[in-house]
Chain A
Amino acid sequence: MKGIVFTEFLEMVEQEYGLEIADHILENSQLESQGAYTAVGTYSHDEMLQLIGNLSTKTATDIPVLLKAFGRYLFDTFLSSYPSFFERTNSAFEFLESIENHIHVEVRKLYADAELPKFTTQRVDDIGFEMIYSSERKMADFAEGLIERTMDHYKTPYEMTKTPLNEDGTMVKFVIMKK
């Protein structure tokens, strides 16, 4: 997993819960990296699971809630760091379509070892949009947060349902309807 995910995650924890909590979850995890993350490095996905797990225990908050919040947080980081990706598209659905076809493609060019999810999208009539997430890393909740902020960013009122397509959470379907 790319370092930027870790640095941003810790940034969020420091902001939301304070330095102490951030330090606590780092100290209480068995981290191969010793918790020394740089945005350009690559680390084991397992470290992220430990950090989130510890944060959940410490703050008595469910992991999905934390992942979603992280997704929302990261969207804003993307918005300021990679404005060009947003300039290309005019609507929320167009932007969501561009993740698989363009954004993550560019990410892969930059970081050959990036571990990215796979998205399939489909428009339903004028107002509906279906997006299926699939990834070994089971981070649909994180995706949900990103999607929510996307809709906000494009000022599109919406309703969203999230349906797991299997038991282990590697396949999840989002259905978004414009309101």
Chain B
Amino acid sequence: MDSEILLRKLRREKEARKQAEAILEKKALELYQANEDLRRLNETLEGEIELRTIKMLSSEQQYRDLVETIDEVIYHADRSGVFTFMNHNGPARFGYSLDEMLGQAFEKFVHPDDVEKTKAFYAKMLKENLDQSYFQFRIISKNGQIRWIGQSVKSIKEKGEIIKFAAVARDITERNQLMEDLRNAKELAENSQLAEKQFLASMSHEIRTPLNAIIGMSHLLEDTNLNKDQNEYVEVLLNSSKILHTLISDVLDMSKIDSGNIEIQEKDLDLRALLKNIEKTFAIKLENQTINMKLQIDEGIDTYLIGDELLLNQIFFNLLGNAEKFTDEGSISLRAKILESNDEFVKIHFEVKDTGIGISKDNLNNIFEKFKQVSDDKKYSYGGTGLGLPITKRIITLMGGDLEVESIEGLGSVFHFEIQFKNTGKAISQKTNHISNTGQFVIPELAILVVEDNPMNQKYIGRLLNKWKLPFEFANHGKEAIEMCQAKQYALIFMDLQMPILDGFEAALALKTIQNKNSNTPIIALTASSLLSIKKQTKEIGMNDFLSKPFNPSQLKEVLVKYFPFKAQQDQNMEEFEAAFRFNKELNENYLADNYGSDLSYALDMFQTFITSFSNDYALFNESIKNKDIKSCGMYAHKIKPIFTMVGLNKITAHFDTLESLSKNENWEGFVSYFRKVEQEIVNCLALIKVETVRLEKFISHQQA
């Protein structure tokens, strides 16, 4: 039984083995077949590759042909700048053959002075993994010529990494030469224009300085005991010098307008008061004549507008002066009428009408043209320059209006124009805060330093300061001023800008930077130059105010009351003045008013705290910059940031805010370049705060006295 079972099992196993062998043989055959198939596939694939290579080569030939038709150098270079491909045509331009260039590094062909620059260019592309960049450099051609190349380089990347460069390089020598010529031509043109402007400005200075002295001294002469004849001479002297002054001003104004160098001030304007003042002045002028001065102001003009008081004054003085000259009897009227008015703007029609001799039709056309005086009547010119009306017309145009004239010969003329002013909406108060002419300065402990080289001008200012009992000393030039400032502290410095030995700019700059007793003393620039850029320059240097020569006594006084308490005779006026300490306009008045209100000693306390804490932190901040320690730079920027708001300098807070975030981003280059940009502003602001602190101190101690 058992053996039968075993036999059956054996038979089954045998059968199974045969089966397995059959399966194995079948599988082996299948494997062989599969291998065969694979081989055949391989062969066809190889054939395919060969075919494609042939196709590719022929298309590469096409590219080559294409590349050879181009006038530029087209090349591939590997990461180390070795040329791996290049068109024949390109290098041939520079006398090189393809064999001379392929396999060589670019340095071999670049102008020695440009090699570093060129290396840096590729290094930058590699470092920043740039896709594309443009670059100009010089190469030396085979025959030793220097050629300028402009090349646009593209990165060829594999898995995001640059493996080689493809570039198109072009000879831009001729183009650069052309541009250079153009630049030179432009510079030449600009220089000559500048020279003309400078000539005009300095001429006017040369003329105005002595003239200023003449006018000033004539005024002083008037004040002495003169007999009748002498009085008459002085009057003539004064009148002629005034005419001369007008002439120069006009010529200068015209050139400023023509060069676009005129600035329209946008300030609160009480048009009503301005027109009334003008009326008063002319009414006095016309007192002894049979001419009536009439003024009609629209009742609706009852808010402050935004406008330029100075230029408006000039317009009306010119027009009224013109009317006066051509009217023997009758009336001159000035009218201001609202055409349109709302919260945003007020449009006003102005009219100056006279009952004079009128203007002939022929002349009507050219009275606004430069230097064209009405030929048949010498009288028809204002101030003799023939510029009065043209200037007026141009100023009005600048303000957005258009001066027009209507006239009937023998009956009179009407000049009229419209100007649209922005409306502040602030009502004009009836009370006028006019600085009383009668009164006294509170005599300061420290003297004023007047730095002025012209002895005549020295005398003029000296007399005025004496009259107001303000102590002063003179320095004859910048160098003397610095020496005096090192020895003694002054309350205020008047600084003429154009002086021998050391001019006012350099002296002021020295006072703000070198060790002396007056680095915080306010400096008022005095200059006869009327170039706006000079005014800006004085501000940049850190001068506090600007007084244009010639000035009259009240203009000088206006500046002085900013720095010295002035006791007017009426008690009410005095109170008004003392209550109103005005911070420098650079500071955020709203913030300061909100925070300190009328508590000036609190403000002073904060200002003093600011100066000590800022000076400390700023020194540490600068130290960190020197050490290139961006972390601690950020820390000090953060620390310094808020304290500027305390003194109303929010704009500096914003700078430090930017600096802080740049340092947080570890952007050292950005940080440094931003800092260099704002550094001067920060230093100026510190100086400003120092000045304000001294002013505050003085103001408070005078209040208490």
Which residues of A pack against B, CB within 8 Å?
A: 19-20, 23, 26-27, 34-41
Contacts and interface: CB of A to CB of B under 8 A. Distances in A.
Nearest to A35: B12
Contacts of B19: 36, 38, 41
Nearest to B24: A40
B5 A20 contact: yes
B5 A34 contact: no
B15 A19 contact: no
Residue from B2, B8, B16 with most neighbouring chain A CB atoms (10 Å): B16
Contacts of A39: 20
Q: Please tell me the size bucket of the interface on B.
A: 10 to 19
A40 to B, nearest CB: 5
B9 interface: yes
Interface in B1-52: 2, 5-6, 8-9, 11-17, 19-20, 23-24
Nearest 4 pairs of A and B residues by beta carbon: A36-B15, A38-B20, A36-B16, A23-B5
A23 B16 contact: no
B15 A34 contact: yes
A81 B16 CA distance: 21
Contacts of B14: 36
Interface of B: 2, 5-6, 8-9, 11-17, 19-20, 23-24
A19 B3 CA distance: 11
Contacts of A23: 5, 8-9
A23 B6 CA distance: 9
Q: Which of B2, B14, B19, B23 has the most CB of A within 10 A?
A: B19
Contact of B20 (A27, A35, A40): A40
B24 to A, nearest CB: 8
B17 A38 contact: yes
A91 B6 CA distance: 43
Contacts of B5: 19-20, 23
17 contacts: A19-B5, A20-B5, A23-B9, A26-B8, A27-B8, A34-B15, A36-B11, A36-B13, A36-B16, A36-B19, A37-B12, A38-B16, A38-B23, A40-B23, A40-B24, A41-B19, A41-B23
- Residue with the greatest number of chain B CB neighbours at <10 A, chosen from A37, A38, A39: A38
A34 B19 CA distance: 12
Given A23-B5, A36-B14, A36-B19, 9 more contacts: A19-B2, A20-B2, A23-B8, A36-B11, A36-B12, A36-B13, A37-B12, A38-B16, A38-B20
Contact of B12 (A26, A40, A41): A26
Nearest to A27: B8
Contacts of A38: 16-17, 19-20, 23
Nearest to B5: A23
Contacts of B17: 38
Contacts of A27: 8
Most buried by A among B6, B11, B13, B15: B15
Contacts of A36: 11-16, 19
Contacts of B11: 36
Contacts of B13: 36
B23 to A, nearest CB: 5
Nearest to B8: A23
Contact of A19 (B9, B20, B23): B9
Contacts of B24: 40
A26 B9 CA distance: 10
A40 B16 CA distance: 10
A27 B12 CA distance: 11
Contacts of B15: 34, 36
Nearest to B6: A19
A22 to B, nearest CB: 8
A37 B16 contact: yes
Contacts of B8: 23, 26-27
A109 to B, nearest CB: 15
A24 to B, nearest CB: 9
Contacts of A20: 2, 5
A27 B5 CA distance: 10
Contacts of B2: 19-20
A69 to B, nearest CB: 22
A36 B15 CA distance: 6
Given A34-B15, A36-B15, A41 B9 contact: no
A23 B14 CA distance: 15
Nearest to A38: B20
Nearest to B4: A23
Contacts of A19: 2, 5-6, 9
B23 A34 contact: no
B369 to A, nearest CB: 97
A36 B13 CA distance: 6
A127 B321 CA distance: 105
Nearest to A20: B5
A41 B24 CA distance: 10
A27 B14 CA distance: 16
A38 B12 CA distance: 10
B26 to A, nearest CB: 10
A87 to B, nearest CB: 28
Contacts of B9: 19, 23
A164 to B, nearest CB: 36
A38 B6 CA distance: 18
A37 B11 CA distance: 11
A39 B23 CA distance: 11
Nearest to B13: A36
Contacts of B16: 36-38, 41
A48 to B, nearest CB: 16
A34 B23 CA distance: 17
A26 B16 CA distance: 14
A52 B5 CA distance: 19
Contacts of A37: 12, 16
A26 B19 CA distance: 18
Contacts of B20: 38-41
A20 B14 CA distance: 19
A145 B16 CA distance: 28
A147 to B, nearest CB: 30
Contacts of B23: 38, 40-41
A35 to B, nearest CB: 5
B60 to A, nearest CB: 43
A34 B14 CA distance: 12
A35 B5 CA distance: 13
Nearest to A39: B20
A48 B5 CA distance: 20
Nearest to B20: A38
Nearest to A19: B5
Contacts of A40: 20, 23-24
Contacts of A26: 8, 12
Nearest to A14: B9
A42 B17 CA distance: 14
Nearest to B27: A40
A41 B16 CA distance: 9
Q: Which of A19, A23, A34 has the most CB of B within 10 A?
A: A23
A26 B13 CA distance: 13
Nearest to A7: B16
Nearest to A6: B16
A150 B2 CA distance: 37
Nearest to A23: B5
B439 to A, nearest CB: 94
A34 B15 CA distance: 9
A31 B190 CA distance: 113
Contacts of A35: 12
A35 B12 CA distance: 6
A19 B19 CA distance: 22
